[in-house]
A and B are shown apart, each in its own frame.
Chain A
Amino acid sequence: MSKVKTVADLKKMKSKLQAKVELREKGDSPEGRVVIKVGMATSGIASGAKEVMAFLIEELDKRNIDAVVMQTGDMGYCFAEPTIEVKRPGEEPVVFGYVDKAKADEIIEKYIKFGELVEGILPDNYQTID
């Protein structure tokens, strides 16, 4: 990657990256991929987020589901760790709490495959800045 030499470089890079992220996250085309973010802060990892992430990667692959699994930081719902956010193409992201392997399995089978919500959704309760 070339170095950022000017502010213009950074802005150019940013818009390119944003487009990439947008494609990843807001891919509104029906054939777009499912994006799953796993909260991998210390609280998440302590309650098993690593295992859940590994499980998701392995199982989605086994079950031939085109999805991106990525790590992210603390979502703030520490009472419900591990937490994952699932974004189906063209839909609002949904956050699930208390995700163990069984729950992850249920999420894959019901929500990811068919958009059928399962218990354990955590409503987002904050606004963020754009």
Chain B
Amino acid sequence: MQILVCAGTGCQASLSEELLSQLNSEIEANELENDVQAIRTGCFGFCEQGPIIKIMPDNTFYTQVKPQDATEVIQEHIIKGRRVERLLFTDPETKEKIADSRKMGFYKKQMRIALRNCGFIDPDNIDDAIAKDAYEALGKVVTEMSPEEAIETLKKSGLRGRGGGGFSTGLKWEYAFKNRADQKYVVCNADEGDPGAFMDRSILEGDPHTVLEAMAICGYCIGADKGLIYIRAEYPLAIERLKTAIVQAREYGLLGKSIFGTDFSFDIELKYGAGAFVCGEETALIHSMEGERGEPTVKPPFPAESGFMGRPTNVNNVETFASIPPIYLKGADWFAKIGTNRSTGTKVFALAGKVNNVGLVEVPMGITLRDVIFEIGGGIKNGKKFKAIQTGGPSGGCLTEEHLDTPIEFDTLLAVGSMMGSGGMIVLDEDDCMVEVSKYFLDFTVEESCGKCSPCRIGNKRLHELLEHICKGNAEESDLDRLRNMSTVIKESSLCGLGQTSPNPVLSTLDNFMNEYLAHVIDKKCPAGACKELMNYVISETNCVGCTACARVCPVNAISGERKEPHFIDISVCIKCGACMDKCKFDAISIQ
């Protein structure tokens, strides 16, 4: 038998290590070493009920187990084979005790639809995919449904674009369907540009067939026989797997002429991008595919009227496509029931930053930020205090503690000044300076602006400069008004989504962390201690023993003092490298 002890940070904070050693000494005391092992595992994602242990092979799941419970667990469960009722989890709704972790599906906050096959199938083998229902939805749609019916199903499912805009996918298809033309195109936007977001990449690498299948469904619905995948050249593995998948699908007759014996034909070609953030914007993407400079044009006309080569074109991103086949297999109602009324289904997030379990998580819409950060993410790293979460990639907003219970939906996030975006989530803790964080995100948008419209090209640069000014302690309080005005104008006057959202980090931090800005401009202090120019290293006279170690390590000779006398840092010389503080053995040097 095995006892799995959660060693996630949350559980460790609630004494799981002590519990583990108690369990081990109980095992020894009862001479069970040969039969029972207690081992550490990763986080179960249920930190608020920690520490957690799971007993294998019977899958018994105990919550809130204290070190002193070790004796009872060993004595009762292991030796006598009786469950310790009081440590079982109580279902908050039914009030029933639940022992078997496999029956605790509800606690598993994640639900995988788009990622359903990632990590299960061999992406290079179409047989694996077919065993997992690949192309069955396509077969059903082309043989049993008219394009109108299929579009209606999609509309009923409530699926909204996962790439950022959150526009109804069914409506989008309908527009493309209704525009008559001799040639139409289905485009898959695989130009995942958000730094830190990699769900599309993972889907393409783990389950390429689902994207091909959904594109073919789209082709059937809107009346296109040609699909194009715009993928960034920086995704070599995804490209390889897509190429393999396309070849295999053609061999099986699942792409090509008369698919499933119908007169529907569809084939897919790859187009490579150079990895520009702005090429995620659909008009810029289309121009890039046409061989033009990747920059956006004013909409309307929308791609559904005039897209690739001036023909009606439907553009969806990878995750959106990956969510589509299950809708046709399990029904629009099934999908619509997941999530919330206005945001149905699930969304994949790339959880990153100061959280224990960084990675890809797919959760039903409507789950709270708290659940994502503290349950799935396993809480904040190193037991630090949560400060903010930035959602929606580099142009999302920073939300605070008070937004933690906000359900994650397209519209609720917009309402609180952030956005869903493509699903980036960066968790920030007490050590992060919000002014610097805004500057950091602006760095990215300044770099990635295409330069076509002046608010984005010049305005973002000016925002960045002003933020830098603030971080250096050179700005005045009145500059904050200018910061807000510039941000507002950039947001409402820019040509495309990039500029229209790039000031979000600034605006949301101005709204939610005004005190930090004020500290920078009035007190010339950085409360998080992150802005180098605003901090000083100081030697405490009481702690300093005059060992001279700091003075010897200082690269600019800013530290002086007699041997065995307290030393002193000349802040006009100090470059704030921190070498002295690392060297000091007496905790005499601190940052002020």
Query: Which residues from B are CB-within-8-Å of A76?
Result: 110, 115, 118-119, 202, 359-362
Say if the beta carbon of B151 comes within 8 Å of chain A: no
Query: Which residues from B are CB-within-8-Å of A122?
Result: 41-42
Say if the beta carbon of B66 comes within 8 Å of chain A: no
Shortest distance from the beta carbon of A130 to any chain B beta carbon, whole Å: 9
Q: Please encode chain B, from 205 to 225, with 1 for each CB lying within 8 Å of some chain A CB and 0 for all others.
A: 111000000000000000000
> A121–B39 contact, CB under 8 A?
yes
Q: Which of A20, A37, A73, A124 has the most CB atoms of chain B within a 10 A radius of its CB?
A: A73
Chain A residue nearest in CB terms to B125: A70
Say if the beta carbon of B44 comes within 8 Å of chain A: yes
> A37–B119 contact, CB under 8 A?
yes
Query: Which residues from A are CB-within-8-Å of B261?
Result: 5-6
Chain B residue nearest in CB terms to A83: B119
- The 8 Å CB contact of B118, one of A6, A18, A73, is A73
> B206–A123 contact, CB under 8 A?
no
Say if the beta carbon of B83 comes within 8 Å of chain A: no
Query: Which residues from A are CB-within-8-Å of B253?
Result: 3-5
Question: How many residue pairs bridge A and B at CB < 8 Å?
Answer: 174
- The 8 Å CB contact of B205, one of A7, A73, A79, A117, is A73
Say if the beta carbon of A116 comes within 8 Å of chain B: yes
At the interface with chain A, which of B91-99, B135-143, B296-304?
Answer: B135-143
Query: Which residues from B are CB-within-8-Å of A91?
Result: 57
Query: Which residues from A are CB-within-8-Å of B260?
Result: 4-7, 10
With A1-B252, A3-B252, A129-B330 as contacts: A117 and B121 at CB distance below 8 Å: no
> B128–A116 contact, CB under 8 A?
no
Shortest distance from the beta carbon of B258 to any chain A beta carbon, whole Å: 9
- The 8 Å CB contact of A4, one of B43, B112, B254, is B254
Query: Which residues from A are CB-within-8-Å of B470?
Result: none
Q: Please encode chain A, from 25 to 68, with 1 for each CB lying within 8 Å of some chain B CB and 0 for all others.
A: 00000000000010111110100000000000000000000000
Say if the beta carbon of B108 comes within 8 Å of chain A: yes
- The 8 Å CB contact of B362, one of A10, A78, A126, is A126
Say if the beta carbon of A100 comes within 8 Å of chain B: no
> A117–B37 contact, CB under 8 A?
yes
Chain A residue nearest in CB terms to B119: A75
Chain A residue nearest in CB terms to B206: A73
Say if the beta carbon of B105 comes within 8 Å of chain A: yes
Query: Which residues from B are CB-within-8-Å of A116?
Result: 2, 37
With A7-B140, A7-B260 as contacts: A121 and B42 at CB distance below 8 Å: yes
Chain A residue nearest in CB terms to B101: A123
> B116–A128 contact, CB under 8 A?
yes
Q: In whole angstroms, how far apart are the Cα atoms of A70 and B361 in the complex?
A: 23
Chain A residue nearest in CB terms to B1: A117
Query: Which residues from B are CB-within-8-Å of A73?
Result: 117-121, 123, 202-203, 205-207
- The 8 Å CB contact of A119, one of B40, B43, B139, B357, is B40
Chain A residue nearest in CB terms to B135: A10
> A125–B108 contact, CB under 8 A?
yes
Query: Which residues from B are CB-within-8-Å of A72?
Result: 118-123, 206
Query: Which residues from B are CB-within-8-Å of A6?
Result: 143, 260-261
> A123–B40 contact, CB under 8 A?
no
> A10–B130 contact, CB under 8 A?
yes
- The 8 Å CB contact of A7, one of B42, B143, B237, is B143
Say if the beta carbon of B424 comes within 8 Å of chain A: no
Query: Which residues from B are CB-within-8-Å of A79?
Result: 356-359
Chain B residue nearest in CB terms to A22: B131
Say if the beta carbon of B354 comes within 8 Å of chain A: no
* B-facing residues in A56-106 (Cβ within 8 Å): 70-80, 85, 91, 97
Name 12 interchain pairs, CB-CB below 8 A, sorted by A.
A4-B135, A5-B261, A6-B261, A7-B260, A43-B202, A73-B117, A73-B202, A76-B115, A76-B361, A78-B360, A119-B41, A122-B42
Using A72-B123, A74-B118, A118-B39 as known contacts, list a sample of 16 further A-B pairs with CB atoms less than 8 Å apart, ordered by residue number in A: A3-B251, A3-B253, A4-B260, A11-B136, A14-B130, A20-B131, A37-B119, A41-B118, A42-B235, A45-B237, A73-B118, A76-B110, A119-B39, A124-B108, A126-B112, A129-B330
